[in-house]
Structure formats: C-alpha cells, structure tokens
Amino acid sequence: MTGWLLVVAGGAVGAVLRYLTDRAVRARLGERFPWGTWLVNVVGCAFIGLLAGVAAEARLLLATGLCGALTTYSTFAWETVALAGRGARWPAAGYAVGSVLTGLAATVAGAAMARGWWA
C-alpha cells in the first residue's frame, strides 16, 4: 500500500475514534469542560511516543494517519478560547497548560514503553 493510502486509512479510523470518544465522554461528564478532546489528545500523544520505533509504513498508518486524525490542536485551541469567553478563565488556563504538560508526559511515557518493548 502506498504511503498516502496508509495515511488515509489511518485517518479514517482516527477520525471516527475521535468522534465516538468525544461523544461518549460528553455523555458521561457533560459539556462544561472539554474532557473528550483532552482524553483523545493525551492518548494520541502516548500512542505516538509508543510508535517512535516502529517501521515507516506502520508510522504512516498509525502515527500520521490514526493519531493525526484522533488528536486535534485546533479543537483544543478553540475550546480553550471558548472556556475563556464564557468567563472560565482559570479553567481555560488550566486546560491549556494541563493539556500541554500531560501531552508531553504521555509522549515521553509512550516512548519509554517502546524502548522497553522493542529494545
């Protein structure tokens, strides 16, 4: 399968997983805080870290395609602005800083697991 088809296939699955995960989290926790976006972004970061050592074809399918569609910086940015616009400035700041820090930590943790498994 060519590289672009791997990205398309992974993206199709990632987009659906993102949508379903966000809907499930919103149904359980409500819509006052963007927990669904936070969850998919952290899981995607961990998965990208985990995939650091796999073959190029798998990275195209899973990291670029699946995780690229699963995670979303634009939604994260919009939800941060929307929280602040509703007067929830501290939750917006916490979401922004917390998302970046947990995303970095998840990526490092995923990479550490990959080194342990594939080293």
71 is in an annotated binding site: yes
Backbone angles phi, psi at 55, to 5 degrees: -60, 155
Distance CA 26, CA 114 (A): 31
Distance CA 88, CA 108 (A): 30
11 is in an annotated binding site: no
Residue 100: partners with Cβ closer than 8 Å, 6 or more residues away = none
- Binding site, annotated residues for Na(+): 68, 71
Q: Which residues are annotated as a binding site?
A: 68, 71
